[in-house]
Amino acid sequence: MLNSTNAITPNGYIRFRDYLQKVCGISLSDNKQYLVASRLGRMLEREGFSKIEQLVDALDRPGSSKLKEEVINAMTTNETLWFRDIHPFTILKDKVLPEMKTSPLRIWSAASSTGQEPYSISMVIEEFKSSRPGVLKAGEKIIATDICTNILQHAKRGEYDSLAIARGLGPDLQRRYFDKVNDLTWKIKPHLSSRVEFKYLNLIDSFSMLGKFDVIFCRNVLIYFAVDLKLDILKRMHASLKPGGYLFLGGSEALSGLSSYFEIVQCHPGIVYKAKVL
């Protein structure tokens, strides 16, 4: 049996780290060999590779797209829950949505993982429309993107087991917005899921084809990227926002060096970034 820890040699780790950053932007620090070993150990053994260098060599060969996809899926962190950190969703409902009166609302949920964020946004829209009928124009759209293909398939199904449902979702919203499939599984109701369109997207690539948005949620993903790439993505997100559009980042993330692009809006509690007109 392969010893996956020994398979991650110093030189091989550097090569793999450089490859991962090149293809998807994830920047591993110098001491993440254990993470690579734990996530890729079974793949290395299955492919008959005794060293990580052999995997990198295989990834560089023509026809390796399936292996590349599997590596990215394995190395992507997909930690999520309903209404994560709560403040952004409160700000969305109480501040942002009341301003959206001129055209059908378009929201982008970047790095949407298994779907909890975009479906939470859809629930917020539903709650807002119930409390403020007629404020939003019909035709709201949430574009949800992720680089992890197997996670996207999960998200598209909109089905969650009882443990996943319980992570951040109260029983009232569960009853209101989910249908029970069986004793272990719940499915998001069609009128909520119909607002959400899931797409594959690598954030290091162009996303101009997605169009313009009123709101972008890009939370808890930029922490995995190098500073230069992070700034590049944020500048391109600014270009994807309509004038005065809003950007939500994760609680541990902050804009630095982009004061000419975004204005910080303090919401007490929580903050959101408003796109400036350049």
Tell me the catalytic residues: 39, 146
* CA gap 226, 217 in Å, rounded: 19
Residues 6+ apart with CB under 8 A from 78: 113, 114, 148, 151
**CB contact at 8 A, 13 and 4:** no
* Distance separating alpha carbons of residues 40 and 12, to the nearest angstrom: 13
- Bridge pairing between strands 185-188 and 141-146: unpaired
Q: At residue 278, what is the residue type?
A: L
Rounded to 10 deg, the angle between the 149-157 and 65-75 helix axes is 70
Which two tokens mark 181? 């499939």
Give the tokens for residue 130.
């119930």
